[in-house]
Structure 1
Amino acid sequence: MKGLLKRTLGTLTAVCALATVADADGVDQLPASEQSIYAIVDPQIPLGASVYKDFKPKKGPPWKIGYASSYAGNTWRAAALDAIMNDLLPRSKEAGLVSDVVVTQSDLKDAVQIQQMRQMVDDGVDAIIICCSNVTALNQTIEYAYKAGVPVFSFSGYVTSPYAINGAANHTQGGAEMASWLAESIGKKGNVLLVSGIPGFASSDSFDKGAKDALAKYPDITIVGEVAGKWTDQVAQVEVQKFLATNPAQVDGILTQGAQENGVLNAMLQSGRPMVPITLGGEASAGCYWRKNPEWVDAGFHIWPPRREMQQMWEIMLRTLQGQGPKVQTFLRPVLPYTIDDVRAALPEDCDLNSTDFVEPSADGWFPAAVADQYFERPADPWKPAAN
């Protein structure tokens, strides 16, 4: 693992044409340990100070929350919604912090999501969570919500509106680390197939940029094809199968985003071709294959842990509504490598190769309270029961 981290950190320092922390107005308020997470980012990510530093909600708790999801068709989105309905909402109700959550799905249609968000504002929600959206399409609606006193929180991706708060892993870093790992795993030469998520969406494009910039440092590696898996195993499997069936060129490794690696794995298994290294982003199904074939790869990467990312954004939302004063517009988390031992600890020996679950960091491993406190002007325990 030390070798892996050394390789990937070396790649990150080499990636060029990306924004740095020197461009920030808000991030420079964070301690050096956190600023380092922002060293290389997508240049469109807002790094300034949050407009919600002195925010006070329209009323005290319990608050009504809107979750304007853009898509419901994959296991990752299902896990994120499950985190709300079966963990975060019950805990928040018990603490007197949240009364209800209104959930909508727009099926990747910006106009529908805009209408749903505006309706939430008009119906009196106190905050809105969105996910993985187009970086600019919702900006006018986010401003509409802001003017009505309703903050918008974008998780697992970002929007460019100054009136939103973003929370995600550093997907550019993640793309670079995964690409560097794959390049080293295939001996620094060969053909790589890139399986994107949903082109045009923030986290997908950020990942691909970091990955391509990293692979460009390996002159003997060629990206022989690009397909879009839409963060859905079934879609990724079909797209990779079509590519493999119509392109006889050798494929030495596959670089895929999360929530679709099992589809990529199944496409390779059914193709009749020799198995090659595939990047892993936490799906338990692909993790199970790794557990049963421990020599296949030597690392996975926590970039999109759905329950942990939702918990992070939920706690940022609670803290903001409580008047704790977020310092920054965008909360980024570092990419966390994980090992076969982590998979063995999370999955039984008779694990399910078709599982729809995820291997995730521990409950306090993604956004620990001690770290979260450093992102707020007036930090406090967000789960403290509301005063009667």
Structure 2
Amino acid sequence: MNSDPGREPSPKPSDSNTAVGPHQAAFLDRLEHFTWAWFTLPMATGGLALLLSPQTQPHTFPGLETIGRAVYIWDLFVFMAVTLCITYRFIRFPGIFTGSLTHPTESLFAATPLLSLASIIAAIARYGIPNTGEWLIVAFRILFWLYFAVSFIAAVGLYFLLFTTPSLKINDMTPAWDLPIFPFMLSGTIASAGAGMQPPAQAVPIIVAGLTAQGLGMMVSILVYANYIHRMIEYGFPRPDGRAGMFIAVGPPSFTSLALIGMANDFPAVYRAFFGDDEVTVQILKVGATMSAVFIWSLSLWFFCISVLACLAAYKEMRFRLNWYAFVFPNVGFTIATISIGKAFHSSGVEWVGSAMTLVLVATYLTVGFNHARAFIRRDILCDGKDEDTYWDEVHHTLHKANADAIDRKDSRV
């Protein structure tokens, strides 16, 4: 099936293309279904690189930075590979690009390339700047402002498209509805990662912009959460195949918590006295940020527990989808936020909990990656009737069931 039910079938490769060999040709044909959701792989990988950074972890060991760098390099490779594949899809199969932006569910993941870039840019401050010269500090600043502008445009544009041709109903609701605002929100996370390395005159504007983005993202997420909880009260949990995506709800409050603490810690100790004495200002910012972070972090904890129970209740029926990477990326924010709170309160217990969560996330990433590879080999993904096609199959199944129920009710009245 095609990503757009009204679109003509995509052209098949010519004989000259298939001459490269049956296995390669089959793979290239399958790229018709290479959706935006594939960027969840570099999202999770980049998040793991940030988590494994010695600056993040409360307990380190020799070789941890080497492991983190290796994961970061792997993330760069994966991001480039996914970008090439989806570019090939849009060039090879005309009409799919616009179809992907208007598809009811695939369009929700159109922001994931920016999410992948967010972790790549933030990791520059962890693995690049400490080992290079002044030029990378300037480059980081330029990348931050470019990302800030592009992600805001994407947040407005993607929701505009979603509102212009509404196809989703409240019973379709998942936390993925929050994804278009997610990249702009992560401007705050990027700011918290690298603002402290900038000159004071440059750091403060970055922190203010990061706080603005984080605030907008969190507030939009709260509005989405209202519909999400309404949906679960009225219709129950999502289908088993969609329950991994429930962890997306863990992300916004988690990344907001860690960003608040990080930006407060990076606020220059010597700058203009916006609020009075500089030392008093920094102290107030740190106390306020830490208290607010704990307040917001509790929402992540609640969503995390609900999501875990929902997945455990249906684990036998769950089949791999690319949304399984939601087991990793949002929980990276949850883990870093937990570690940041532990550091702020100098609590060794909370820090050890964060270290244990890190080990669990590494194991989860490897498990999801194994299932990803197996699903690809088995053609459970990247195949006709899978990926973006599943939405239309479910819609047709729902309509067929509704028509059958209507006929049954009519017969019973007769």
Q: Which has the larger radius of gyration?
A: 2
Normalized against structure 1, the TM-score is what? 0.29
Whichever structure has more strand as a proportion of its residues is 1
Normalized against structure 2, the TM-score is what? 0.27
